[in-house]
């Protein structure tokens, strides 16, 4: 399973990319606004930090303007993935871009029917939001299971990119279901390293080693 970082914070991205465990980046207008930078400058800088896909979202709501924004974003770097909302205009834009071999991430997916349409439109990635479904009393992971099953039934090439991740458990369960990608905030990525028994074991090993008075270096 690929791990994308959901961030537009340049310092965060620089730090975590040093792990060589980050496969791509997703951004959105809210994250760009939080960064305080110009969207074109921020996306271009991020694309220079990672070799994998960087999702840059259009802000237009009609097809014509989406296409113009997409063209401008694609000119920033070769690894830009155009992110469009799951609306009729968004899918029309997805269809047109995908015909020209442009990578497209269709976002704000909340149902299996939407996911089917995105796959038929040629989306590279579909981004179902598990956390936001959990917030309204539904089980967001059930949607991931359904989409993975449907895509497997018809050999759709669209990759299931699980978004709105709220914790490590969402990552684990998405992997068990068979999702292709999860996009996670920095906090969740760092939490994936942690377990109290790891800390306890390391402390014991270091204590025992110090008692020997030896040094490998």
Mind telling me the catalytic residues?
83
DSSP assignments along the chain, one per residue: -EEEEE---HHHHHHHHTTT---EEE--HHHHHHHTS-HHHHHHHHHHH-SS-EEEE---SSHHHHHHHHHHHHTT-TTEEEEEESSHHHHHHHHHHHHTT--EEEEEE-SHHHHHHHHHTT-SEEEEBHHHHHHTTS-HHHHHHHHHHHHHHHT---EEEEBS--SHHHHHHHHHHT-SEEEE-HHHHHHTT--HHHHHHHHHHHHHHHHHT----
Q: How far apart are CA 38 and CA 73, in angstroms?
A: 12
Contact residues for 102 (Cβ-Cβ < 8 A; gap 6+) = 70, 74, 82
């Amino acid at each position: 399973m690929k791990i994308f970082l959901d961030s537009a914070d340049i310092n965060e991205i620089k730090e975590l990319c040093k792990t060589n465990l980050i496969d791509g980046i997703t951004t959105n207008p809210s994250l760009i606004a939080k960064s305080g930078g110009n969207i074109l400058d921020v996306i271009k800088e991020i694309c220079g930090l990672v070799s994998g896909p960087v999702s840059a979202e259009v802000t237009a709501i009609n097809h014509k303007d989406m296409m113009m924004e997409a063209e401008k974003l694609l000119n920033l770097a070769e690894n830009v993935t155009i992110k469009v909302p799951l609306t009729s205009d968004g899918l029309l834009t997805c269809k047109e871009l995908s015909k020209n071999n442009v990578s497209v991430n269709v976002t704000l997916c909340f149902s299996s029917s939407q996911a089917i349409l995105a796959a038929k439109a040629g989306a590279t990635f579909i981004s179902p939001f598990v956390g936001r479904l959990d917030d309204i009393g539904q089980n967001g992971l059930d949607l991931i299971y359904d989409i993975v099953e449907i895509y497997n039934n018809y050999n759709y090439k669209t990759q299931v990119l699980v978004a709105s991740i709220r914790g490590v458990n969402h990552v684990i369960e998405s992997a068990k279901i068979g999702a292709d990608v999860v996009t996670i905030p920095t906090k969740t990525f760092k939490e994936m390293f942690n377990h109290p028994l790891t800390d306890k074991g390391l402390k014991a090993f270091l204590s025992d080693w110090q008692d020997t008075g030896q040094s490998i270096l």
